[in-house]
């Protein structure tokens, strides 16, 4: 093995300029012929998944609920130390009714059902 590295070193020293020129030529040819990194690289984690994977199927099902043009809001109503009263529930229901009257609103629960007022769990 020592003999191999000795000869390799002598070759590299003897033809150093030719080796540098060869590397420059190979680099220029590769840059001009091979596709750019941007056309091969994936920007998202989902780009590496096959289209029929469960994660991609779940993402497709979730798309209707993720409108990037609209802001999302979560309404949480609670009382400190006691459950919501009938007046509280009426106020929240009124607020939901007013939000539904907006032309771009679509109050939905995460499951896709219409939002409802329920008392908090203890």
Q: Which residues pair with 108 in a beta bridge?
A: 114
Largest CA distance in the chain: 93
Taking a C-beta distance cutoff of 8 angstroms, is the pair 75, 69 a contact?
no
Average pLDDT on 29-35 reads: 91
26 against 116, higher pLDDT: 26
| Mean per-residue pLDDT over the chain, rounded | 77
Give the Cα separation of 38 and 21 in Å (integer). Answer: 27
Which residues fall within 8 angstroms of residue 96, CB to CB, at 6 or more apart?
75, 107, 115, 117
Q: Is the pTM of this model over 0.85?
A: no
The region of weakest confidence among 2-6, 70-74, 103-107 is 103-107
pLDDT at position 106: 57
């Amino acid at each position: 093995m020592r003999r191999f590295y000795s000869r390799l070193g002598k070759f590299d020293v003897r033809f150093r300029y030719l080796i540098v020129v060869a590397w420059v030529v190979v680099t220029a040819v590769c840059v001009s012929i091979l596709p750019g990194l941007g056309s091969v690289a994936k920007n998202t984690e989902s780009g590496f998944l096959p289209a029929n994977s469960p994660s991609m199927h779940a993402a497709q099902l979730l798309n209707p609920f993720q409108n990037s043009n609209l802001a999302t809001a979560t309404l949480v109503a609670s009382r400190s130390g006691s459950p919501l009263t009938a007046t509280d529930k009426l106020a929240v229901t009124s607020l939901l009714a007013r939000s539904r009257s907006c032309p771009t609103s679509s109050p939905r629960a995460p499951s896709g059902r219409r939002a409802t007022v329920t008392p908090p769990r203890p």
